[in-house]
Amino acid sequence: MKLTTNYSFILASESPRRKELFGKLAIPFEVQPANIEEVVEGKLTPEDMAISIAYKKTVPIVEKNPNAIVIGADTIVHLEQESLGKPTSQDQAKAYLKKLSGRTHTVVTGVSIQGSGTSISFAESTQVTFYELTDEQIDAYVATGDSLDKAGAYGIQTMGGLFVKKIEGDYNNVVGLPISRLFQTLLTLEVIKFEKEWSK
């Protein structure tokens, strides 16, 4: 399967995981991190919060590249009424993992597609259930340093995935980018198309 496009794409994220996932489309793209403050005003649902931050990431990049299609994304781990962002210390990472232990949480990724006459956003949600974790397991994982750059203090694609009992929904959404839904959206917008291959 080959895709083609007449547009320039920019991924407004410095996440190596999102870069790898977007690369599955096999179309040319650049990476330009937005470097914004990832906060929003007011009381929002996790979905609206993720979309709002994803959109904020696209704004400065679209201003610099008005003819490109800019894609921003933001992932939030939500447990009951609390959002667990990226921990700022090992102690906070341990506290997050203790809260997630033995429970089901929601991972929400907001995606915003902006620029070149395009403006659409959506949020994808995945339910993730953890096994009961011991203090020893939590301490050993946090000591690796893997927790500190990930929402909810774990990476499902790294050793943090060993804590996951089951998921309901899109695995890639938990990694940081619901690439399947993004692919379908870009096809619907007709900014990417299938490249016809003719065989004799």
Residue at 199 is within a domain? no
Indicate whether 193 pLDDT > 60: yes
136 within some domain: yes
Q: What type of residue is 142?
A: V
CATH classification of the domain holding 138: 3.90.950.10
Q: Name the active-site residue from 74, 91, 139, 146.
A: 74
Q: For the chain, how many structural domains are there in total? A: 1
Q: What is the pLDDT of residue 1?
A: 82
Whether residue 72 lies inside any domain: the answer is yes
Q: Label residue 162 by pLDDT band (50, 70, 90).
A: very high
Q: Is 151 contained in some domain?
A: yes
Average pLDDT over residues 91-107: 98
pLDDT tens digits for range 26-43: 999 999 998 887 777 678
User: Alpha carbon of 158 to those of 49, 114, 183: distances in Å?
Assistant: 26, 31, 24
Give the span between the Cα atoms of 9 and 5, in whole angstroms: 9
Residue 48 belongs to domain spanning? 3-194
Tracing tokens 């993992």 back to the chain, one arrives at: 97
Q: What mean pLDDT is predicted for residues 111-139? A: 97
Q: How far apart are CA 61 and CA 36, in angstroms?
A: 11
Q: Is residue 18 part of a domain?
A: yes
Mean residue pLDDT across the chain: 94
> What is the Cα gyration radius of the chain?
18
97 lies in some domain: yes
Give domain status of residue 112, yes or no.
yes
Give yes or no for residue 133 having a pLDDT over 70: yes
**pLDDT computed for residue 37 by the predictor:** 77
Catalytic residue flag (residue 74): yes
Whether residue 142 is predicted with pLDDT greater than 60 in this model: the reply is yes
Q: What is the pLDDT of residue 67?
A: 94
Q: What is the pLDDT of residue 200?
A: 38
200 domain residue, yes or no: no
What pLDDT was estimated at residue 196? 76
Q: Residue range 51-58: average pLDDT?
A: 96
